Each structure stands twice: as C-alpha cells, then as structure tokens.
Amino acid sequence: MNPSTQTSTPTPYASKPVRRIVIAGGGTAGWMVAAGLSKSLGRLYDIRLIESEEIGTIGVGEATIPTLHFFHEILGIDEREFMAATQATFKLGISFENWRNVGEHYFHSFGTTGKPHWTAGFQHFWLEGRKRGLASDYGDYCLELRAAMDNRFAHLPNTGLNYAYHLDATLYAQYLRRYSEALGVRRIEGKIVKVHSDLSGEASHGGITGLSLNDGSLIEGDLFIDCTGMRSLLLGETLGVAYQDWSEWLHCDSAVAVQTASVGEAVPYTRSIAHPWGWQWRIPLQHRVGNGLVFSSRHLDDEAAKLALLANVQGEVMRQPRVIKFTPGQRELVWKRNCVAIGLSSGFLEPLESTSIHLIQRGLTRLIQMFPADGICQSDIDEYNDQSRRAIETIRDFIILHYHVNNRTDAKLWRDCREMAVPNLLAHRIQLFKDSARVCLDSDELFRDNSWIQVMMGQGIAPSAHHPVTRQMSDADLGEFLGEIRKDAARSLIKLPKHQDYVSRFCGAP
C-alpha cells in the first residue's frame, strides 16, 4: 500500500532499523534536511516531506555565514546556479552601527585580521603598535573588512576571501526542493492535523508512529524530523520536550520585517543598526532589500515598531510589514525517541549573527554522521543532544556579548543589558580579554578568535595588558611587521572589482 494514502491507525513504533524518514515541514530547515539526507543516504531510505502551503513558512532568514559553503560542497551545488536562483549577493561580514554607542561603528568581518604568531595572537602586536603610535585601525589589517568597506569583491585564487551570502529564503527553499525531488524525495502537500505516538517502552524505543493529514491520509515512518517551525509540533507539542527560555540575557522577543526595492548598489555586508529598543537589519539581495527590526516588546509596541521600521528603510515598500514573535531559547532536548528537531522547532536565539541556517546545517550534518544503523540507540541520542547543547550555548554567549558590553546611556534596554549578570563562561571570557587581551576557546566553537576580538574591541573593551613578547620587538621591527600586513591588504584590495559589478557578471544579473 502507498504509505501516503493509508488511512488506518499506525502500527506501534519499536526500535528497529530505520527505513522510512518523514520530514514534517518544508521551510528552509525542511528542504535543507531533505537535500542533505537525499544526497548522502537517499538510495537507502524512503524520504518524504510534508508541508502546508496554507500555513506557509516564516519567510525571513536571508543572511548566512561562511559555513554554508560546506553544505553546498556536500550537495555539489554550482555557485553560479545557486546565486542566480536565489538572487544572492556576497557577504563579507556585518557592520555594527550605534552598538557600542550612538554614532559609533565597527565591523565584524569573516576574514583573518593580521597574522598569527605561535606565542600570541595578532591583537597583542597591534595593541603594542598602538601604544607606540605604529599601528593604524585594527580593521586595516583585514582584507575582507577593507573590501567590504570599499564595496569590493572577487573570488581570489589560493586562499581567497572568506565570504558568505545574502539570499532570498523563499527562493532558496524552492531551489533545494527541486534539488531534493530530483534525488527522489517525495513532497506531500497537506496539513498535519494529528500526530500519532506510542510512548510505551524504553525511551529510545517508543515514539512517533504517524502523521494524519487534513485529507484523511496517514503518513507512517520510522524516523521523524520535526521542521515545523516555532510550533515544534512533534518534539515540543507531542513529545513534550520543554523549552529553555533565555530571555533573561536576550531581551529582544519580536521582529518586524519588510521588503523594499533596491536603491543603489548592493553592498557586500549586512547592516545591523542599533536603536533604543533593539536593532535593525538591512540585507541587500540582487532584486530587493530585506529589512527588519528586532526589538524588545517591553520597550516598544508592535505598531510603533512598524512605524519605526518604515521610517528607516530606503526604497519602495514591496509588502506590508509583518510582526513575528519569538522566545529566545532552545528545547531541552533536540532528539527524543525517534524524533529530531531541526530549525526553529529546536529553538531560536535571534538573528544578530545570522546563525540559524548554520545551526540547521550543523544539526543535519551531525544527524548524518550519527545516523542510526540498526535501530536508534539512546547513547547516540545523548551524544547528539550534548553536542547540540554545547554548540548553541557558545553561540548564545557570543550574541549576548554584543548587548552586554556597550556604552549607551540613552535607553533603558541598553542600560539593562549592560547591568545584567551574564553566563559564567562569558563573564570569564570578557574578564580574561580585559586583563590580558587573551581569547581562549574550545576547538569546536563556531565563532573563533577573530570574531571574538573584533566584537569585544568593537563593543568597547580595551585590554589593560597584552603579551610581553611584543615588547621584545624594536620600533623598526614592529613597524615593519604591521606595515607589511597593511600593505598586503591594500595591494589585494585594489585588484578587486566593485561588488555589484562582480555579482552582475558572475550571475548574469542586470
């Protein structure tokens, strides 16, 4: 019998080899999962994806980070084809405006600043150079940052620029749908109206058995991937996994988004502009600009947020602003029994450092790497949950850092963020950097030294000391060391074309 048209009660689930994978939800998460699973394991499993046009997708999520290259490499995606299909532009980092203080600006680039030395990071040499009047702005030593500020981009030979993309989320899901269907994924249009489960037996045995749709059909499966968005229909609502609320540290709980027609050239970076009640994004695509305001509902109401956003966009508004509510946090478990939540169903921090699509990709690649062979083992579930928790907690801390370290005195939100107690590890990292300019991270963390240093200094931390090895260098040696790095960046910069011209040539855009 065709499983998609079966109408009886589902058979109970017991730990048995997985044959049928059911993906519930077809937003960015659902289709990324479908693409990744069909590419890596598609010949072994029956993969179906259920989505509901009536419910639709969240429709935001357009800025990415460089890890997306890895996902595209796995899929064997052609960059030109992908960029043309999703109206994508290149992204070299994020411009943070008014974050440290009103009227001040810094940049978090994806590049490496300076050159590392085995004794100490580049920041130590730069700090010594600054003290002796030998160093210019920290960003002058990073090619990606200089290219972004000068609106330039190209694929460079050898190491190249470290970059990500801005993309149209709806077009991206459609692109991945075509990709997945070509590899045999079956899409089922319909609304899930009932989730059947058998929760008797050991934790790794019982689980979800089937999903009833509004047309009366029943979709049975062995492994269910919950990509139903913030509602978390399978993991949260059915399996009862609680949500850890992190709003004590991340005060923004709402967003309003609007698309506008492009005016002027697309810049190769996201703009993040802080306001008294939150911050605003501007994401330039080839055909339009994505705009949004992320705000704290305790400091601004929805109507005022819409007006504030509309007052701060350029170009004709293409659709009326839409308000989205969220609770920053994470499900206590992201894999329970035979259900794995990937995407918003597993949690959401907030979009400040564009980490959600990365977390989808990471959840998916982790699942593929730990894919159950002869039935689902509790040890795999525990390991998966532990790795996922550690990954998101360090990203959470990095985001909190932006809010906590600030000099703004104009608004309560910013004063509250500065005065709040932060997680212990973050508090330690801030103190360590203040005392010694050192950054010590675990090897598997997403954001590396380059990111932490740019944001810590950008937000206004001035370390009180740095490594003594830098004092060994004479003025001439230190000046030459710093000067060469700066000149190298300048030499490469002038070879780069304007970003807009490069995108047009690369994608054949008008």
Catalytic residues: 91
Among 22, 36, 47, 62, binds ligand FAD (CB under 6 A): 62
CA angle (230 as vertex; 227, 235 as ends), nearest 5: 60
Q: Which two tokens stand for residue 80?
A: 């030109």
Alpha helices by DSSP H, listed for 199-334, are 302-311
Task: Choose the binding region for ligand FAD from 23-31, 199-207, 415-423, 477-485 (rule: CB under 6 A).
Answer: 23-31
Kindly state whether residue 191 participates in binding ligand FAD, applying the rule CB under 6 A: yes
Task: Choose the binding region for ligand FAD from 81-89, 237-245, 343-351, 450-458 (rule: CB under 6 A).
Answer: 343-351
Kindly state whether residue 63 participates in binding ligand FAD, applying the rule CB under 6 A: yes
Among 3, 10, 27, 347, binds ligand FAD (CB under 6 A): 27
Which amino acid type is present at position 439?
V
Kindly state whether residue 326 participates in binding ligand FAD, applying the rule CB under 6 A: yes
Q: Which two tokens stand for residue 360?
A: 């989808």
Decide if 509 contacts 286 (C-beta within 8 A): yes
Task: Choose the binding region for ligand FAD from 238-246, 354-362, 399-407, 446-454 (rule: CB under 6 A).
Answer: 354-362
Under DSSP, the state recorded for 103 is: T
* Interstrand relation of 347-348 and 329-331 (parallel, antiparallel or unpaired): antiparallel
What's the rounded Cα separation, in Å, for the pair 152 and 499? 4
Among 3, 26, 129, 463, binds ligand FAD (CB under 6 A): 26
CA angle (494 as vertex; 493, 499 as ends), nearest 5: 70
Kindly state whether residue 29 participates in binding ligand FAD, applying the rule CB under 6 A: yes
Among 111, 114, 351, 458, binds ligand FAD (CB under 6 A): 351
Among 227, 376, 413, 503, binds ligand FAD (CB under 6 A): 227
Whole-number minimum distance, CB 68 to ligand FAD, in Å?
9
Among 10, 30, 236, 321, binds ligand FAD (CB under 6 A): 30
Kindly state whether residue 52 participates in binding ligand FAD, applying the rule CB under 6 A: yes
Contacts (Cβ under 8 Å, ≥6 apart) of 199: 206, 207, 239, 337
Residues in contact with ligand FAD, counted by CB under 6 A, come to a total of: 38
Q: Which two tokens stand for residue 81?
A: 């084809």
Kindly state whether residue 229 participates in binding ligand FAD, applying the rule CB under 6 A: yes
Decide if 253 contacts 40 (C-beta within 8 A): no
Among 3, 10, 25, 206, binds ligand FAD (CB under 6 A): 25
Which amino acid type is present at position 186?
R
Kindly state whether residue 221 participates in binding ligand FAD, applying the rule CB under 6 A: no
Task: Choose the binding region for ligand FAD from 56-64, 179-187, 367-375, 396-404 (rule: CB under 6 A).
Answer: 56-64
Kindly state whether residue 324 participates in binding ligand FAD, applying the rule CB under 6 A: yes
What's the rounded Cα separation, in Å, for the pair 262 and 91? 16
What's the rounded Cα separation, in Å, for the pair 455 and 412? 22
Whole-number minimum distance, CB 351 to ligand FAD, in Å?
3
* Interstrand relation of 322-325 and 93-97 (parallel, antiparallel or unpaired): unpaired
Task: Choose the binding region for ligand FAD from 72-80, 226-234, 487-495, 496-504 (rule: CB under 6 A).
Answer: 226-234
| Strands annotated E in 262-388 | 270-275, 278-284, 288-295, 322-325, 329-331, 335-336, 339-341, 347-348
Kindly state whether residue 28 participates in binding ligand FAD, applying the rule CB under 6 A: yes
- By beta-carbon proximity to ligand FAD, the closer residue of 245 and 484 is 245
Under DSSP, the state recorded for 152 is: B
Q: Please list every residue from 245 through 274 that binds ligand FAD, using CB under 6 A.
A: 255, 257
CA angle (180 as vertex; 175, 183 as ends), nearest 5: 135
Cα 319 versus chain centre, distance: 24
Largest CA distance in the chain: 82
Among 206, 236, 292, 328, binds ligand FAD (CB under 6 A): 292
Q: Please list every residue from 124 through 183 that binds ligand FAD, using CB under 6 A.
A: 169
Kindly state whether residue 341 participates in binding ligand FAD, applying the rule CB under 6 A: no
Run of H or E residues at 135: none
Please give the residue ranges that form the binding site for ligand FAD (CB under 6 A): 25-30, 50-52, 55-58, 60-64, 169, 191-192, 227-229, 231, 233, 255, 257, 292, 324, 326, 343-345, 351, 354, 356-357
